[in-house]
Structure 1
Amino acid sequence: MPDLSSLWWFFTASLVLLLIPGPSVLYVTGRTLDQGRRAGLLSTLGLACGDLVQVVAAVVGLSALVASSETAFSVVKYAGAAYLAWLGVKRLRAPDPVPAEDVPATPDATAPHAAAPARTPRLFSDGLVVNALNPKSTLFFLAFLPAFIDSGRGAVWSQTLVFGLVFVVVGMATNAGWALLSSLLRTRARQSRGFLRAERYVLAGVFFLLAAATLATGLTGD
């Protein structure tokens, strides 16, 4: 079990690192601006579970195996990039939302209507897959976390699990904060018709940007 001092320093370092806008922040803010606070918070939960998958992989040694194999690392990297690109294309193909005041009070099958919100399971699973297949997370748990491991404090796997869980909780808290902030900005911005038309392009652009960043990730962390 890590000592309190190590836990505190790891918590502080993780908080500083996660407060800096990165892939997870872009993903959460993009989802929130496009689909609202609920979508952002559900995406946050999915991302946290994706990080948890990475933690478990680090505990059992899968992260080390992936990082030590160029082929395995490439499979994870390209799978993650392809999934993000698919999400981007899917969002581009979705219809533009219609302002509430333009929606007729009486349902009409031929009238335009607001785009249906993404379902809860989809919002959660998208976030989970995005982080579970994020090669940057794999490299993080291999390059950053070991610096806090003390072999004299017990089994390495148990310390890795504890530090990993701390990281997951901190990440969930910071991403939720970004989601709430983005929700406030969205409430104001949605008064503009231009923003309503741009919503899907904003999120699609975020997905494509994250896909490009994933492809640029190498075993050296470049």
Structure 2
Amino acid sequence: MPPTDRLLTFLLASFVLIVIPGPSVLFTIGRALSSGRRGGLLSVAGNATGVFVQVLAVAVGVGALVQRSTELYTAIKFVGAGYLIYLGVQAFRHRHALSTAIAAPAKGLARPRRMYVDAVLVGVANPKTIVFFTVALPQFTDRSAGHVPLQLMFLGAAFTAIALACDSVWAVAAGSAREWLARSPRRLAAIGGTGGVAIVGLGVTVAVSGRAN
């Protein structure tokens, strides 16, 4: 298990990243609006499954490499930090996307299995979490304690649990309050814009802090 201070910092960083509307949140909202709470929550479960697939891949692959190579860790960190900043700028530029999703007309219901599988694919392909896991996870581990892959899996499981809770709130809110959300386009745009700025800040933080032990 990572040191307590790093774990708390990681949990806070994870919460900030998760609550920022991104591909998974937009997908969940769209499904909740078209299929109700059930569709939204199925999408949340599928997305969490996909995210944990990313965790396993990082823990097995990147974890082993980082444990052996400080140089590789540094290179991955700066490349990923740059991409996080790019994602933040894009999120700010497209801050009205939530309003667009809310305003979209309802679609026909999909089968529960199809909704779940679609959400798994969205989770696996989510660039925000791919970069976060590849770049940020290693700096919250303690290389001197060994078992870096296991530490990465623990951190990834914690991230997934937070995502399940936060995304479920989005799903329930969207499934229950379509009309209320539709009357708040400026509020939704503010959420998206603030989220973009926060992602940029996270990218800068990753670039200037943290190093392998």
Same fold (TM over 0.5): yes
1:125 aligns with 2:117: yes
Structural RMSD (CA): 2.5
Query: How far apart are residue 36 of structure 1 and its match?
Result: 0.8
1:26 aligns with 2:26: yes
Query: How far apart are residue 124 of structure 1 and its match?
Result: 0.6
Percent identity reads 40
Q: Distance in 1 between matches of 2:44 and 2:112?
A: 12
1:144 corresponds to which residue?
A: 136
- Residue 177 of structure 2 aligns to a residue whose secondary structure is helix
8 A Cα contact 2:24 2:126, kept in partner: no
Q: Distance in 2 between matches of 1:128 and 1:172?
A: 13
Structure 1 segments of 4 or more deviating over 4 A?
187-190
- Residue 118 of structure 1 aligns to a residue whose secondary structure is coil
1:163 corresponds to which residue?
A: 155
Matches within 5 A, 1:56-205: 56-61=56-61, 117-186=109-178
2:61 is aligned with what amino acid? G
1:4 corresponds to which residue?
A: 4
- Residue 21 of structure 1 aligns to a residue whose secondary structure is coil
2:45 corresponds to which residue?
A: 45
Q: Distance in 2 between matches of 1:143 and 1:120?
A: 34
Greater shift, 170-179 or 126-135, is seen at 126-135
**Which has more radius of gyration?**
1
Q: 1:14 to 1:4 in 2, by over 3 A?
A: same
Q: 1:34 to 1:9 in 2, by over 3 A?
A: same
Query: How far apart are residue 18 of structure 1 and its match?
Result: 1.0
TM-score between both structures, scaled by the size of structure 1: 0.58
Q: Distance in 2 between matches of 1:130 and 1:149?
A: 27
Query: How far apart are residue 130 of structure 1 and its match?
Result: 1.2
1:179 is aligned with what amino acid? A
1:75 corresponds to which residue?
A: none
Q: Distance in 2 between matches of 1:135 and 1:16?
A: 16
Query: How far apart are residue 116 of structure 1 and its match?
Result: 5.2
Q: Distance in 2 between matches of 1:59 and 1:171?
A: 18
The one-character-per-residue Cα deviations of 1:77-109 (angstroms, maximum 9, x if unpaired) are: xxxxxxxxxxxxxxxxxxx87xxxxxxxxxxxx
Q: Distance in 1 between matches of 2:58 and 2:181?
A: 41
Q: Distance in 1 between matches of 2:60 and 2:166?
A: 27
Query: How far apart are residue 46 of structure 1 and its match?
Result: 0.3
Q: Distance in 2 between matches of 1:126 and 1:31?
A: 10
